[in-house]
């Protein structure tokens, strides 16, 4: 009889678990490094948007529209030629899949023209 009760409880717990695996969401640690400043970092979560990113909903929407790609061709904005390098890094999961990204840009404007709102923090 104890095995029957244990089986019923285990079956109930399994039946009540969500159908989506717990690691299927999006959680990205975004970091910006400038040579003359301390690195800044935030977490971006999607589905639903959240984390410490100031524009999480917009960043998640852009990522969703690009299929999770963090960089794209320049968006056409005009940027100065001032050399102020910035390194953008990402580690985490996009829809449950591991993501690692690192790119160096000439300045913040160039970075934002190629990454949109994702690194706008």
- What is the per-residue pLDDT for 25? 87
In a domain, 60, yes or no: yes
Q: How far apart are CA 100 and CA 85, in angstroms?
A: 20
pLDDT at 27 over 90: yes
Confidence of residue 96 (pLDDT cuts 50, 70, 90): very high
Q: If pLDDT is split at 50, 70 and 90, which confidence band does 24 have? A: low
Answer whether residue 3 shows pLDDT above 80: no
* pLDDT tens per residue across span 71-90: 999 999 999 999 999 999 99
- Is residue 96 domain-resident? yes
Question: Which residues, other chains included, contact 119 with Cβ-Cβ below 8 Å and sequence gap of 6+?
Answer: 30, 32, 88, 111, 112
Task: Give the tokens for residue 34.
Answer: 């400038």
Containing structural domain, residue 106: 24-115
Distance of CA 7 to the CA centre of its chain: 39
Residue 5: what pLDDT?
45
User: What are the helix and strand counts (H, E) for the chain?
Assistant: 3, 5
Q: Are 96 and 25 in contact (CB under 8 A)?
A: yes
pLDDT for the residue 106: 97
| Full DSSP string of 20-44 | S-TT-SEEEEEEEE-TTS--EEEEE
For residue 120, pLDDT beyond 90? yes
Number of domains in the chain: 1
- Looking at residue 75, which CATH number applies to its domain? 3.30.350.10
Q: In this model, does residue 94 exceed pLDDT 90?
A: yes
Global pTM value:
0.77
Phi, psi angles (nearest 5°) of residue 44: -115, 125
Residue with tokens 């690192």: 102
Q: Is 76 inside any structural domain?
A: yes
């Amino acid at each position: 009889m104890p095995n029957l009760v244990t089986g019923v409880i285990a079956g109930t717990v399994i039946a009540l678990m969500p159908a989506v695996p717990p690691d299927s969401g999006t959680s990205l640690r975004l970091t910006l490094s400038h040579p003359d400043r301390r690195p800044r970092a935030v977490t971006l979560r999607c589905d639903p948007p959240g984390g410490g990113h100031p524009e999480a909903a917009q960043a998640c929407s852009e990522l969703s529209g690009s299929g999770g790609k963090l960089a794209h061709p320049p968006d056409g904005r005009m940027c100065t030629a001032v050399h102020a390098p910035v390194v953008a890094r990402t580690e985490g999961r996009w829809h449950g899949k591991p993501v690692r990204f690192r790119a160096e840009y000439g300045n913040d404007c160039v970075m934002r023209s190629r990454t949109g709102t994702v690194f706008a923090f």
